Amino acid sequence: MASKFGDSIMLYLGFQVVLAPLTRQRSWNNVPQPPAILYYSQRTSKGGLLIAEATGVSDTAQGYPHTPGIWTKEQVEAWKPIVDDVHAKGGIFFCQIWHVGRVSNTGFQPNGQAPISCTDKPLTPQIGANGIDVDQFSPPRRLTTDEIPQVVKDFRLAARNAIEAGM
């Protein structure tokens, strides 16, 4: 049976089995912050699976403010105490790595460049999660065939970094 707990949806069978990923937007400069230790720890049970919020694989992967990444040493080190606390309570932690593609704008991209994507077709503005603000998306730049290996490399590094962080 599903149950609502705070801002998290969890599946219960007498204990928490799975924590679905939620975008918390509480990181600073793409680095998870210490309050995340409490957040994930409170949602951990022995044998339970926690899926981390979407975690960027590179500086071009970002499309939302205050979301965590896992492409730098600093980010890996920030994830370690979070993961350690989940493991100490008997939980299993999985890192959801992602790249937002064209769901971004130049303000989130290195040097203000256009977001990279498989297409150059822009997205239309959308009402934000708060129901008030309008999310604006910059026209993306179509990734060239020669650039694809870099994106693959970004995902590979992020996966290795997640393992190094203990996930």
Which pLDDT score, from 0 to 100, does residue 34 have? 96
Which pLDDT score, from 0 to 100, does residue 126 have? 87
What percent of the residues of the chain are helix, what percent strand, and what percent coil, each to the nearest 5?
30, 20, 50
Domain boundary assignment for the chain: 19-116+145-165
- As a whole number of angstroms, the distance between CA 1 and CA 81 comes to 31
Mean per-residue pLDDT, 77-95: 97
Asked if 135 and 125 touch (Cβ cutoff 8 Å), the reply is yes
Top pLDDT among 18 and 4 is at: 18
Which pLDDT score, from 0 to 100, does residue 22 have? 82
- The pLDDT tens digits for 50-75 are 999 999 999 999 998 999 999 999 99
Mean per-residue pLDDT over the chain, rounded = 90
Which pLDDT score, from 0 to 100, does residue 15 have? 55
- Predicted TM-score (pTM) of the model is 0.86
Top pLDDT among 32 and 12 is at: 32
